[in-house]
Structure 1
């Protein structure tokens, strides 16, 4: 079971990397007012959602307790990110504040995962 859990943690991190990487590659464009949500950001957020849900199930099936408040907050933040990216994915440019909000929320989700023990 540990190997399976670690596999999905790795996939979850790949999703985070895709979402944050897509944001970081658009930062220069954001400064010019030309940023857009690239497809990798949507795919990264979806990967995070699916692998996160699977991880919760695997960890519970392995007999460990999970912090449901932490998972609930991370899920809520991710749903906001996913909603914003999904709705604005076809627009040629996205408002700086909205684009920055997605980057900020992504980092908030990372820090919740790492620092909340």
Structure 2
């Protein structure tokens, strides 16, 4: 079971890397007001959602404790990110504030995952 959990953790990290990487590559364009949500950002957020839900299920099946409050907050943030990226995915330009919000929420999710013990 530990190997399976570790595989899903790795896939979860790949998802966050795609989402954050898509944001970071658009930082210069965001300054110019020409940023857009890339398909990598959408697919990264979807990967995070699927692997995150799987991780919670696998950890509970392995009788490991799960902090439901932490997971609920992370899920709520991810749903907001996913909704924003999905709705605005076809637009040529995304408002600076909206684009920055997605980056900020992504980083908040990373800090919650790593610092909340």
Q: How does 1:17-96 map to 2 (within 5 A)?
A: 17-96=17-96
Give a deviation string over 1:7-53, Cα, whole Å, max 9, x none: 00000000000000000000000000000000000000000000000
Aligned match of 1:110: 110
2-side partners of 1:38 and 1:64: how far apart?
36
Unpaired runs of 5+ residues, structure 2, are none
With the length of structure 1 as denominator, give the TM-score of the two structures.
Answer: 1.00
Aligned length: 117
Secondary structure, aligned partner of 1:10: helix
The CA distance in 1 between the partners of 2:52 and 2:64, in whole Å, is 15
Deviation, 1:100, is 0.1
- In structure 2, distance between residues paired with 1:11 and 1:55: 10
Gaps of 5+ in 1: none
RMSD in angstroms over aligned alpha carbons? 0.2
Query: CA deviation digits over 1:50-81, x for unaligned, max 9?
Result: 00000000000001110000000000000000
SS at match of 2:36: coil
Number of the residue aligned with 2:15: 15
